[in-house]
Structure 1
Amino acid sequence: MISPSAALAVPATGAPSLSDLLSAGREHYRRGEIRSAIAIFQAGLALAATVSIGVAASSVAADLHAALANAFMLCDDIASAAENYKAALRLAPHLVACWCNLGIVHQRSGMTQDAIALYLEALRRNPAHRPSRTNLVQALVATRQFTIARTLLLELLEETPDDAELRSGLGKICFELGDSGEAIAQFERAVALAPAQSENIYWIGAIRQARGELEAARAAYARAAQVHPILLRPAVKSPPAFRVLALFAPFVGNTPVEFLFKDCGYETSILSLLPGAAPDLGLLARETDVVVNLVSDADQGATVLPLATAIARRLGKPIVNDPEKILRTTRDATALALAGIDGCRVPHTVRIAAGEALPASLDLAFPLLARQAGMHGGDVFEKFEDAAALDAFLAAQVDHDRYVIDYIDYRSADGFFRKYRFLFVGEEILPYHLAIGDGWKLHRDSTEMVRHVWMQDEEEHFLRAPEEVFDAAHYDALRLIRDRIGLDYFGIDCGLDRDGDLVVFEVNASMLVHDQNPEFPYKDLYIRKIKLAFDAMLGRFARTIP
């Protein structure tokens, strides 16, 4: 039924035609009255169902479905949008924009390969259709087909060389392809074309930091902060469900959120905690519903976490991953916090301050592990069989704090090592990946899993039914770990020894979650669950506002 307000746009004399209803709905849509537009489009389709459909009426009905789908997209009802785009294409398969928009629906639903096929169909019908070309580039990037994406992007830039957004996109692709010099050049061109877009300057800072050009990186970050200390990511719907302020600190470890903050129903503002930055906290408080602290490494962020705490407290909003709790997640503090959990083996960990040698009173039982504080993955991290080798390593890293860690043999009965990752998201404990290899120092991306179907099958089984790998006692231990750590979002890397005990390797909020897994498509469903759980958790925090 057409609402009273919507009916005002329908001709008052005689029964409205399909064309009348299409025009009326479009007028409400143009004015931002989306619900009224939806009601009119639906009335038009109801009328179309009662009349004999000729060529002209079929064309108008297709346009009604397409217009209704566009309106549903604005309301973030992508299921209804997909249904109507498909209905429009059944009536009028020549509607190139519908093929493109249906591709967008699939891409937002996580079905990127299907989206690529739809964009290609649109381009088969109209090779010059620019929205399909630009969206195809985004989909190719999402599936890490960077070389093809770069070729298409260069073609688009030949047509519009002064398009700052395309320059920025090319910078990101060049970075992914390992051409950091060209990436910086493209971002610099984007900055010249659109000086107010601070994101491109932040990218320059991040790439220069990764290249070890620290002074240039600091200059870029400072320049970005002068342009705008806040990096805004709009919601995919209007109005946004709520507003998030994320606290980010260059040069220290941060929670990776490129995936988590993608395609969100909430608006995200990222505040860089840089020297000299003086954000208007009163304004931020009025425009923020939830604060998310991204500074996640207690070692690297020791000096900036108190600043994050002060800002979060002054804003007076609910805080995800309170900075004060992050400070208590160093490796040695975590080992103490998790000691004594039944069925859980947490390696004893000793921190050795920079400039200090191994304490003579320390009772050593080899083999031992040692690593530089603040490092993750396999960087500056080795296993030692005797005191001489350990002493040499510690001496080489004397300018940094270091950890000496008990080694726990977690080799499985078949001779392989297995490292599992879970994400704690609020009250949920969700599997993320399994790494299988023949060495103790396991990293998912450096394993041979892409070559072995049995490894992939085992990982898929873990993701689908983790309770068949980790029993009730293991989950009791995981829940106790969650409670003792006390963060709202963090990860754990763990294993199972031959006695079935849980072995803890690492617990922190710095663990990477991403959806770039074209070689392991079975992971997509389970990674999407982490994203949905994260968004739902933020929504719960937003609803706690008085």
Structure 2
Amino acid sequence: MEIERTGSAGPARNTFADRIGFARLTAMAFGGADLRPLRDEIVSKIANGTASAGEGLDLSLIAQLLGEKQAGLAMQAEVLAYHQLFRSPCSVAKPKLRVLALAAAMDMGGNTPIEFLLEHSGIELLTLYVVAGVELPAPLPDHDVAIVIASDSEECRDALRKIERAAPRWPRPLLNPPHLVAHLDRDKLHRLLHGIERLDIPATTCVSRAQMSDLALLDGSVEDIAADFQFPLIVRPRGSHAGTGLAKIDDRPALGRYLAERPEQEFFVSRFVDYASEDGLFRKYRIAFVDGRPYACHMAIADRWDIWYLNAGMAFSESKRLEEANFMRTFDHGFAARHQRALAALADRVGLDYFTVDCAENKRGELLIFEADNTAVVHNMDSPDLFPYKAPQMHAVFEAFAAMLYRRGRDGRERAA
């Protein structure tokens, strides 16, 4: 593919390629748009040698959105082998701030979806993919603030190490430093948060397939994995995302059946917590932390423990939406006030400038943490007709994020002066 030089972020080697980007393409797919004509248009450009690197990266994302993950990742690898710097659409012609996002070569869910946070902010976003075999550019692309958007996953470790080595000499403020991102992995997070008053986080242990097989065949005990473990257990393949392979295992025969269906060699195992409310429904919350302050993002209500917003049927239940609206409206003096100390301690120990948690309340009224990460999708794509209360809340999150970037950029310029 021939790279079309579309812009510059400073020296010639820091030329960026413009792209449609994650937010716009994902919103199109979420809204039901047919992405195949756009895919075919880009494929045609590739065939006649006029496609830009940005279009190649967009094609990779389109393929993933169409369910062709492996093909999309192959396209991404081909593009990133020779071009790593990309510019996302900006809502103003002359932005007053430029952010450099440091990404890893991952699937579409493996980096912070920062475009959603900045889409209407007037902030220019450059994304630099940190890939194997390619050193960070010297000098770096011109920017006011940098932020690590690579995740804690195994596939991102090389990129995080490369950024970490360069961090002491970084010319501008560097947010979400890689050594803190690495603490979010499931088997590390519970140790990081252990002992926080009124916070419950089940211990998570990485267990080999051989250990799991022994347990299923009566050759091992649950206590051999962890002292406080007993059936039922929550099991998921290590490195999985979005609930892939997640299961509640009630006994040894169920574990054997689970292993028969899974090819993975390592699994995360934790104790099951029954967090159903008195009405028998489960309530799961997503909270974003911006510069230490918590913001409500969504509340999912379902009759099943393994809740995601999309499987909770929120769009089909007015009563659920009314409860979510009330959760958002009263968050600061309700949920956040009720768990003020636990949330503050959590933010302090995680230490990241921006991250999210998925959580609930256990039967003792404590804050129950399922996971914390820096890559959960925080967006404003839901129908304003069905969810009129969401846009104001999402705008509050986006404005807080932009304000943090402006503040850090200003502080960085003052220190440089």
The TM-score range, normalised by the shorter chain, is 0.7 to 0.9
Q: Is the 8 A contact 1:245 1:268 kept in 2?
A: yes
Q: Deviations over 1:213-258 (max 9, x none)?
A: 63663344433553x4211236444542222111112225111123
Match of 1:309 in 2: 164
Q: Is the 8 A contact 1:173 1:183 kept in 2?
A: no
Question: 1:207 offset after TM fit, Å?
Answer: 3.5
Question: 1:181 offset after TM fit, Å?
Answer: 4.8
**Counterpart check, 1:188 vs 2:40:** no
SS in 1 for 2:268: strand
SS in 2 for 1:504: strand
* Cα pair distance change 1:298/1:314, threshold 3 Å: farther
**Counterpart check, 1:222 vs 2:67:** no
Question: 1:506 offset after TM fit, Å?
Answer: 1.2
Question: 1:459 offset after TM fit, Å?
Answer: 0.5
Aligned length: 377
Match of 1:427 in 2: 292
Q: Matches of residues 459-474 of structure 1 in structure 2 within 5 Å?
A: 459-470=324-335, 472-474=337-339
Q: What letter matches 1:260 in structure 2?
A: L
Q: Deviations over 1:2-57 (max 9, x none)?
A: xxxxxxxxxxxxxxxxxxxxxxxxxxxxxxxxxxxxxxxxxxxxxxxxxxxxxxxx
Higher mean alpha-carbon deviation, 473-482 vs 302-311, is at: 302-311
Higher mean alpha-carbon deviation, 274-283 vs 173-182, is at: 173-182
Pairing partner for 1:288 from 143, 161, 164:
143
Pairing partner for 1:250 from 102, 105, 117:
105
Q: What letter matches 1:542 in structure 2?
A: G
Match of 2:128 in 1: 271
Match of 1:326 in 2: 181
Q: Deviations over 1:316-354 (max 9, x none)?
A: 321111111111111111011111111111112111246
Query: Aligned partners of 1:324 and 1:225: how far apart in 2?
Result: 26
Query: Aligned partners of 2:61 and 2:40: how far apart in 1?
Result: 14
More strand by share: 2
User: Which structure 1 residue ranges, 5 or more long, are not aligned?
Assistant: 1-163
Question: 1:466 offset after TM fit, Å?
Answer: 1.1
Q: Is the 8 A contact 2:357 2:370 kept in 1?
A: yes
More helix by share: 1
Q: Matches of residues 490-505 of structure 1 in structure 2 within 5 Å?
A: 490-505=355-370
Q: Is the 8 A contact 1:368 1:407 kept in 2?
A: yes
Query: Aligned partners of 2:76 and 2:284: how far apart in 1?
Result: 38
Question: 1:502 offset after TM fit, Å?
Answer: 1.3
* Cα pair distance change 1:428/1:191, threshold 3 Å: farther
**Counterpart check, 1:350 vs 2:217:** no
Q: Matches of residues 401-420 of structure 1 in structure 2 within 5 Å?
A: 401-420=266-285
Question: 1:177 offset after TM fit, Å?
Answer: 3.8
The TM-score normalised by the length of structure 2 is: 0.81
Pairing partner for 2:401 from 534, 537, 540:
534
Match of 1:521 in 2: 388
Q: Deviations over 1:146-205 (max 9, x none)?
A: xxxxxxxxxxxxxxxxxx98xxx8998479647565442122245578936422110122
Question: 1:398 offset after TM fit, Å?
Answer: 5.3
Query: Aligned partners of 1:260 and 1:191: how far apart in 2?
Result: 31
Q: Deviations over 1:413-451 (max 9, x none)?
A: 111110011100003211011000100011111112222
Question: 1:290 offset after TM fit, Å?
Answer: 1.1
Pairing partner for 2:247 from 375, 382, 401:
382
Q: Is the 8 A contact 2:121 2:399 kept in 1?
A: no
Match of 1:260 in 2: 117
Query: Aligned partners of 1:255 and 1:216: how far apart in 2?
Result: 18
SS in 1 for 2:389: helix
SS in 2 for 1:418: strand
Pairing partner for 1:458 from 323, 332, 344:
323
Q: What letter matches 1:530 in structure 2?
A: V
The TM-score normalised by the length of structure 1 is: 0.63
Higher mean alpha-carbon deviation, 326-335 vs 460-469, is at: 460-469
Q: Matches of residues 385-396 of structure 1 in structure 2 within 5 Å?
A: 385-394=250-259, 396=261
SS in 1 for 2:116: coil
Q: Is the 8 A contact 2:103 2:127 kept in 1?
A: yes
Question: 1:460 offset after TM fit, Å?
Answer: 0.6
Match of 1:198 in 2: 53
Q: What letter matches 2:377 in structure 1?
A: L
Query: Aligned partners of 2:26 and 2:267: how far apart in 1?
Result: 36
Match of 1:371 in 2: 236
Q: Is the 8 A contact 1:201 1:221 kept in 2?
A: no
Q: What letter matches 1:416 in structure 2?
A: L
Q: What letter matches 1:525 in structure 2?
A: P
Q: Is the 8 A contact 1:209 1:251 kept in 2?
A: no
Query: Aligned partners of 1:182 and 1:172: how far apart in 2?
Result: 16
* Cα pair distance change 1:263/1:346, threshold 3 Å: same
SS in 2 for 1:302: helix
Higher mean alpha-carbon deviation, 239-248 vs 416-425, is at: 239-248
Query: Aligned partners of 2:33 and 2:207: how far apart in 1?
Result: 36
Higher relative contact order (CA 8 A, sep 6+): 2
Query: Aligned partners of 2:149 and 2:388: how far apart in 1?
Result: 28
SS in 1 for 2:264: coil
Percent of aligned pairs with the same amino acid: 30
Larger Rg: 1
Question: 1:457 offset after TM fit, Å?
Answer: 1.0
SS in 2 for 1:271: strand
Question: 1:463 offset after TM fit, Å?
Answer: 0.6
Question: 1:297 offset after TM fit, Å?
Answer: 3.1
Q: Matches of residues 15-26 of structure 1 in structure 2 within 5 Å?
A: none
Match of 1:340 in 2: 195
Q: Deviations over 1:262-302 (max 9, x none)?
A: 12322211112234445532142xx1221111102334422
SS in 1 for 2:157: coil
Q: What letter matches 1:320 in structure 2?
A: L
* Cα pair distance change 1:305/1:401, threshold 3 Å: farther
User: Which structure 2 residue ranges, 5 or more long, are not aligned?
Assistant: 1-18
